Amino acid sequence: MLRTAVLRGLGLANDGPVSVTVGDADGERTADLEPIPFDTYTDWAGDYGMLRLPERADTRYLADNDAVLRYDTVPGGVYIRYLEVRRPTPDVLAALRPIVAGDGVQRVILDIRQNPGGDNHNIPALTQLLAHFRFHHPEGDVVVITDRVTFSAAANLATDLEALFDPG
């Protein structure tokens, strides 16, 4: 239970534990939830106060959570995993430019699932890369994958890309 000050301000709770009643097919039950400090919560949930899915080597978008941006070639295209809206290293961007412009690349898949955001000033690095792809492949597809844990600057990136590549 976080942010109990809001519940108190609305007159829905007093200091101390907050009573919550829930019901299901077996009936109702009440639980007294003890508020915890936000720092305790972020120690458990991570710096952004959200739980990311655990790293899994056998699931492409959950593998290698240490790399801000990584990529793989896939049949007909390039898969880019962007974990946080930070500026990718220049060597990664330099390596990607000729790959996305290459023959046989019909689509670029940008996966920003589980991306908590970051600094909006870093968005142009990706939009320029994808514009470079589209310049070399005017009919090529830009596919952006999001989920319910795509936040802040990552959501802004998705919106910017939709405006650039899907103006209809």
Supply 14's token pair.
């007093």
* CA–CA distance, 104 with 17 (Å, rounded to integer): 61
Q: Would you state the pLDDT for residue 14?
A: 86
Q: Would you state the pLDDT for residue 80?
A: 98
* CA–CA distance, 102 with 3 (Å, rounded to integer): 51
Q: Which residues does residue 80 pair with via DSSP β-bridges, in sequence order?
A: 71, 110
State the pairing for strand pair 141-145/107-111: parallel
Would you kindly state where each structural domain of the chain is located, as residue ranges?
4-35, 60-165
Q: Would you state the pLDDT for residue 49?
A: 65
Q: Would you state the pLDDT for residue 112?
A: 97
To which H or E segment does residue 132 belong? Answer: helix 123-136
Residues of the chain where predicted confidence (pLDDT) is lower than 50: none
User: In a 10 Å sphere around its CB, with 0-12 CB exposed, 13-18 middle and 19+ buried, how is residue 19 labelled?
Assistant: exposed
Q: Would you state the pLDDT for residue 16?
A: 86
The overall average pLDDT reported for the chain is 90
User: What does the radius of gyration of the chain's CA atoms come to, in whole angstroms?
Assistant: 21
CATH architecture classification, 60-165: Alpha-Beta Complex (3.90)
* CA–CA distance, 13 with 6 (Å, rounded to integer): 9
Q: Would you state the pLDDT for residue 35?
A: 85
Q: Would you state the pLDDT for residue 1?
A: 66
Q: What is the pTM assigned to this prediction?
A: 0.75
List, for residues 120-132, the tens digit of each pLDDT value: 999 999 999 999 9
